Structure 1
Amino acid sequence: MSTLIMQSDSASSAEAVLATPLVRRRADALAIDLAAIPGSGVAGRVTLRDLLRAAGQTDEAATVDAGEPGTSTDGASAEVSSAPPAYVTPVVRRLAVSHGVDLAQVVGTGVGGRIRKQDVLAAAAASHQTTTSNGGKPSPAGQDARRGTVEPLTSSRADLESRASESLQGSAWRTAVVEVDLAAVTRLATEWALDAPQTGPLAVVPYIVRAVAQSLQANAVLNATVHAERGAIEFHAREDLAVELEGSAGVVVVEIPDASSTSVQAIARLMASADEDDREVSSETATFILTCGSGNDVLFDTPLLPIGRTGALNVGAVVKRPVVMSDPEMGLGDTIAVRSLVLLALTYDHRLVRSTDAARFLARVRQQVESGDFS
Structure 2
Amino acid sequence: MSGRVFTLPDLGEGLTEAQIVRWLVAVGDEVAVDAPVAEVETAKAVVEVPSPFAGTIVERHGAEGATLAVGAPLITVEDGAARTYREEERAGSGNVLVGYGTTAAPARSRRRRGPARHPGDARGGAERPAVKSPIVRKLARSHGVDLAALTGTGPGGLIVRRDVEAAIAAATGTATGTAASTATSTATSTATSTATTAAPAPGRDRDARTGLPVRARVPLTGVRRAAADALARSRREVPDATTWVDVDATALLEFRAALDDRRPRPGILGVVARFVVAGLAAFPPLNSRLDPDGAGVTELDGVNLGIAAQTDRGLLVPVVRDAHRLGMRALDAELRRLTTAARDGSATPAELTGGSFTLNNYGVLGVDGSAAIVNHPEVAILGMGRILPRPWVVGGEVVPRHITQLSLVFDHRVCDGGTAAGFLRFVADAIEDPLSALAEL
Q: TM-score, normalised by structure 2?
A: 0.58
The residue number in structure 2 matching 1:343 is 405
Shift of 1:320: 1.4
Higher helix share: 1
Q: Which has the larger radius of gyration?
A: 2
- Structure 1, gaps ≥5 residues long: 1-20, 29-57, 140-145, 327-333
* Residues in 2 aligned to 1:115 and 1:280: alpha-carbon distance in whole angstroms: 23
The residue number in structure 2 matching 1:287 is 356
* Residues in 1 aligned to 2:158 and 2:417: alpha-carbon distance in whole angstroms: 49
Task: Indicate whether 1:262 and 2:329 are aligned.
Answer: no
* Residues in 1 aligned to 2:249 and 2:234: alpha-carbon distance in whole angstroms: 33
The residue number in structure 1 matching 2:275 is 211
Q: Deviations over 1:101-136 (max 9, x none)?
A: 71663528699x997544544444434543349934
* Residues in 2 aligned to 1:285 and 1:207: alpha-carbon distance in whole angstroms: 22
Q: Deviations over 1:2-33 (max 9, x none)?
A: xxxxxxxxxxxxxxxxxxx944459x9xxxxx
Shift of 1:79: 6.0
Aligned pairs for 1:233-248 within 5 A: 233-246=297-310
Task: Indicate whether 1:359 and 2:421 are aligned.
Answer: yes
Task: Indicate whether 1:102 and 2:166 are aligned.
Answer: no
Letter in 1 for 2:145: Q
Shift of 1:192: 1.3
* Residues in 2 aligned to 1:335 and 1:101: alpha-carbon distance in whole angstroms: 59
* Residues in 1 aligned to 2:134 and 2:363: alpha-carbon distance in whole angstroms: 20
Change (3 A) 1:163 1:353: same
* Residues in 2 aligned to 1:22 and 1:234: alpha-carbon distance in whole angstroms: 28
The residue number in structure 2 matching 1:135 is 179
- Structure 2, gaps ≥5 residues long: 1-9, 17-31, 50-60, 67-88, 96-131, 182-196, 198-212
Alignment match of 1:70 (pick from 38, 49, 74) = 38
Letter in 2 for 1:70: A
Shift of 1:259: 2.2
The residue number in structure 2 matching 1:323 is 392
Shift of 1:216: 0.5
Alignment match of 1:180 (pick from 224, 247, 259) = 247
Query: Are the aligned partners of 1:255 and 1:286 in contact in 2 as well (CA < 8 Å)?
Result: yes
Q: Deviations over 1:186-210 (max 9, x none)?
A: 1122221464446xxxx31111111
Structure 1 range deviating more: 267-276 or 338-347? 267-276
Q: Deviations over 1:292-321 (max 9, x none)?
A: 236232112222212221111111122211
* Residues in 2 aligned to 1:123 and 1:356: alpha-carbon distance in whole angstroms: 55
Query: Are the aligned partners of 1:300 and 1:316 in contact in 2 as well (CA < 8 Å)?
Result: yes
Query: Are the aligned partners of 2:227 and 2:315 in contact in 1 as well (CA < 8 Å)?
Result: no
Shift of 1:224: 0.2
Shift of 1:254: 4.2
Higher strand share: 2
Query: Are the aligned partners of 1:288 and 1:309 in contact in 2 as well (CA < 8 Å)?
Result: yes
Change (3 A) 1:339 1:96: farther
* Residues in 2 aligned to 1:149 and 1:100: alpha-carbon distance in whole angstroms: 17
- The share of aligned pairs that are identical, in percent, is 19
Change (3 A) 1:279 1:75: closer
Q: Secondary structure at the match of 1:70?
A: strand
* Residues in 1 aligned to 2:93 and 2:367: alpha-carbon distance in whole angstroms: 30
Change (3 A) 1:92 1:180: farther
Shift of 1:227: 2.3
* Residues in 2 aligned to 1:81 and 1:249: alpha-carbon distance in whole angstroms: 17
Query: Are the aligned partners of 1:239 and 1:287 in contact in 2 as well (CA < 8 Å)?
Result: yes
Change (3 A) 1:365 1:318: same
The residue number in structure 2 matching 1:192 is 259
Change (3 A) 1:133 1:121: closer
